Amino acid sequence: EGNRKTDSRMVLITARCAKALQLTLAVIKPDAVAHPLILEALHQKILENKFIIVKSKEIVWQRRDSERFYAEHKGRFFYQRLVEFMSSGPMWAYILAREEAVSHWRALMGPTKVFRARYVAPGSIRAGFGLTDTRNTTHGSDSEDSARREIAFFFPEFSVAEWMESAEPAFRA
Ligand code: ADP
């Protein structure tokens, strides 16, 4: 009897946590990974903003990985430089969790274009560390749907559903 009570209370608490948590896919792009101080500053930014780092890994893309990931931009004037850049050196990829993770990480990054970011979001990551509109330091999923798709792209072995259903989501990393 005593045990059952404790158990159901635990489930309630963890269920509420799991509901509030959202996952997003964040990437530190090759321009930033090339500079240890900037990489360190971005790691700090993730931690300061109370994200749970669910998974993280260093990754190097082949050109075909870039082309597959950015297929929607094929034909745009920046496509060639984008796919070359994204396969030019190591990146760091993360599955991050917190409340409103998708919009929070996007807000921290700032707008796509670095020079626009400097005007409209001067404290943002891209404003601070971006080099050009292409070499703009970070990627972040732009919706819950793209987060699912992009998490599967970067971490095919990871199951969002399993993680969400788990009794102890924070400890499944
Ligand atoms: P975001 O990364 O902010 O979601 P997009 O999905 O529109 O932006 O573009 C993907 C990436 O393509 C950008 O992060 C950037 O590296 C590059 N890019 C987008 N627009 C431009 C542009 N106008 N000029 C140069 N590079 C661009």
In the predicted model, is pLDDT for residue 173 greater than 50? Answer: no
DSSP 94: E
Q: In this predicted structure, what is the pLDDT of residue 171?
A: 45
Amino acid code (one letter) for 50: K
* Distance from Cα 134 to the centre of ligand 1, integer Å: 6
- Report which protein residue has its CA nearest ligand 1's atom 27: 134
In the predicted model, is pLDDT for residue 71 greater than 70? Answer: yes
Number of H helices, E strands in the chain: 10, 4
Q: Is the pTM of this model over 0.90?
A: no
Is 4 annotated to bind ligand? no
Residue-wise pLDDT tens digits, 74-98: 999 999 999 999 999 999 999 999 9
50: left (phi over 0), alpha (psi -120 to 50) or beta: left
DSSP 130: -
Biggest CA–CA distance in the chain, Å, is 67
Q: At which residue do the structure tokens 């972040």 appear? A: 140
CATH number of the domain that residue 43 is part of: 3.30.70.141
Is 43 a known active-site residue? no
Higher pLDDT, 140 or 20: 140
Q: Are 154 and 59 in contact (CB under 8 A)?
A: yes
* Distance from Cα 131 to the centre of ligand 1, integer Å: 13
Q: What is the rounded average pLDDT of the residues 18-33?
A: 89
Helix then strand then coil, in percent of the chain rounded to 5, is 55, 15, 30
Residues with CB under 6 A from ligand 1: 78, 82, 112, 133-134, 136, 139, 142
Residue-wise pLDDT tens digits, 59-70: 999 999 999 999
Per the structure, the count of domains in the chain is 1
What is the sign, positive or negative, of the torsion defined by CA atoms of 37, 132, 102, 84? negative
Is 57 annotated to bind ligand? no
Residue 20: which pLDDT band, with cuts at 50, 70 and 90? Answer: confident
Q: In this predicted structure, what is the pLDDT of residue 40?
A: 97
Residue 23, strand partner residues: 97
* Mean pLDDT, rounded, of the chain: 89
Q: Are 93 and 124 in contact (CB under 8 A)?
A: no
Between CA 144 and CA 106 the distance in angstroms is 12
Q: What is the rounded average pLDDT of the residues 35-47?
A: 97
Task: Look up the domain containing 86 and give its range.
Answer: 2-171
